[in-house]
Amino acid sequence: MSLVDRFRLTVPLLQAPMAGVATPLLAAAVCEAGALGAIAVGATDAAGARAMIDELRDRTARPFNVNLFVHPAPHGDAARAAAWLERLAPLFAAQGAVPPATLRAPYRGLAEDPDMAALLLDRAPPVVSFHFGLPDAALVTALRARGVYLIATVTSPAEADAAAAAGMDAVVAQGIEAGGHRGTFDPAAPDAALGTIALTRLLVRAARLPVIAAGGIMDGAGIAAALDLGAVAAQLGTAFIACPESAADAGYRAALAGPGATRTAMTALISGRPARALGNRFTALAATLADLTPPDYPIAYDAGKALHAAARARGEHGYGAHWAGQGAPLARALPAGALVATLRDEWRRARG
């Protein structure tokens, strides 16, 4: 049975899991409107994830997706962290603040967090998706035994092969246009930076798993185009940031409607892993910090979040982690249910 039929979707649309942005309220509104809503629990712990999953279940009886980060444990290199903080110090000073004395990872990956794995098995959400890598075989087997549908983000045919071998049910083909963190399994490996069209076609032709296209898709015409390419559905993230149900703050919303939306940039400076963000003061640092390697993800994010907090306290929003894809200027500030209905109408018109 296709993903769309299995989850009774009235439009082939997945709302992207977005850590820090996609609330249970947003996901529930998307589910109730006939698409697959999602929450991302990668940046919280098992207790936080439990609260989000339970709130979402209270808000909707329809199927939803819970998303995890599967990144390796960061290597805590004190010298690298110190060098990084030293270079950021003038930026903190300009905001009347001092950098933190040390940096720590603000959250753990799934592989390091047995409580999170236990929670997933206990709550058994209808869909679980993985970003940055694949879970271990024991967890895959256990989740499948609980009837959970498994999805992995991939950015290359090799990662898609690994996802198929690991027992995933479908892959999200994340093109270079996509907002947020690039799901590449090994960020140190060469990256062909495939766009959504080429990656989707490569994976559809290989025909191993159903393909969900993601990256730069903002409207029903884009969803129809993804299906024309052979995808079973499209996953949209940036399109949902401006929804009132999202957790985006006022600075993020203003930036999404501003000039930075026309020049998104892929940078590892904010978190330690490549991610696409609205052009702002942080992405502009690429020119001056290029000679340094940021601390491992997510340790670098500790510094990025501290700089943003210091600046925001003074009304400066230019250091926010304003993740967004290349289609950002097409974002619409509609309630999530109305956005899904609009996307469905547009998709139906576009497919003729």
Ligand X SMILES: Cc1cc2nc3c(=O)[nH]c(=O)nc-3n(C[C@H](O)[C@H](O)[C@H](O)COP(=O)(O)O)c2cc1C
Spell out a b/e string for 142-166, using b for 16 or more CB atoms within 10 Å of the CB, else e.
bbeeeebbbbbbbbbbebbbbbbeb
DSSP string, 219-261: SHHHHHHHHHTT-SEEEESGGGTTSTTS---HHHHHHHTSGGG
User: If binding means CB under 6 A, how many residues of this protein chain bind ligand X?
Assistant: 29
User: How far apart are CB 79 and ligand X at their closest, in Å?
Assistant: 30
**x/- map, 321-340, ligand X, by CB under 6 A:** --xxx-x-------------
How far CA 152 is from CA of 102, 133, 170, 188, 193, in Å, comes to: 33, 7, 7, 19, 18
- The residues near 164 (Cβ < 8 Å, ≥ 6 apart) are 171, 208, 209
How far CA 9 is from CA of 3, 242, 259, in Å, comes to: 8, 23, 35
Task: Candidates 34, 179, 272, 298: give the one binding ligand X (CB under 6 A).
Answer: 179
Task: Candidates 23, 44, 153, 200: give the one binding ligand X (CB under 6 A).
Answer: 153
C-beta of 13 vs 306, nearer to ligand X = 13
Q: Please report whether residue 222 would count as binding ligand X according to CB under 6 A.
A: no
The CA angle 187-260-337, to the nearest 5 degrees, is 85
Is the Cβ–Cβ distance between 70 and 132 less than 8 Å?
yes
C-beta of 135 vs 327, nearer to ligand X = 327
C-beta of 197 vs 292, nearer to ligand X = 197
Which tokens hold the place of 287? 């020119």
Task: Candidates 65, 238, 280, 283: give the one binding ligand X (CB under 6 A).
Answer: 238
Query: Within positions 7 to 36, which residues make up the interface with ligand X, using CB under 6 A?
Result: 16-19, 21
Task: Candidates 74, 99, 109, 215: give the one binding ligand X (CB under 6 A).
Answer: 215
Q: How many residues can be counted in the chain?
A: 352
**x/- map, 53-82, ligand X, by CB under 6 A:** --------------x---------------
Which tokens hold the place of 95? 């905001």
C-beta of 204 vs 324, nearer to ligand X = 324
Provide the 3-class DSSP secondary structure of residue 217.
coil
With contacts defined by CB under 6 A, name the span among 88-96, 185-193, 235-243, 312-320 that binds ligand X: 235-243
- Determine how many CB atoms are found less than 10 A away from the CB of residue 187: 17
Rounded to 5 degrees, φ, ψ at 316 are -100, 115
**x/- map, 288-327, ligand X, by CB under 6 A:** -----------------------------------xxx-x
C-beta of 7 vs 153, nearer to ligand X = 153
User: How far apart are CB 22 and ligand X at their closest, in Å?
Assistant: 7
Query: Within positions 85 to 144, which residues make up the interface with ligand X, using CB under 6 A?
Result: 131
Which tokens hold the place of 306? 């501290």
Which tokens hold the place of 348? 């139906």
Task: Candidates 91, 214, 270, 310: give the one binding ligand X (CB under 6 A).
Answer: 214
C-beta of 84 vs 323, nearer to ligand X = 323
Interacting residues with ligand X (CB under 6 A): 16-19, 21, 40, 42, 67, 131, 153, 174, 177-180, 214-217, 235-239, 241, 323-325, 327
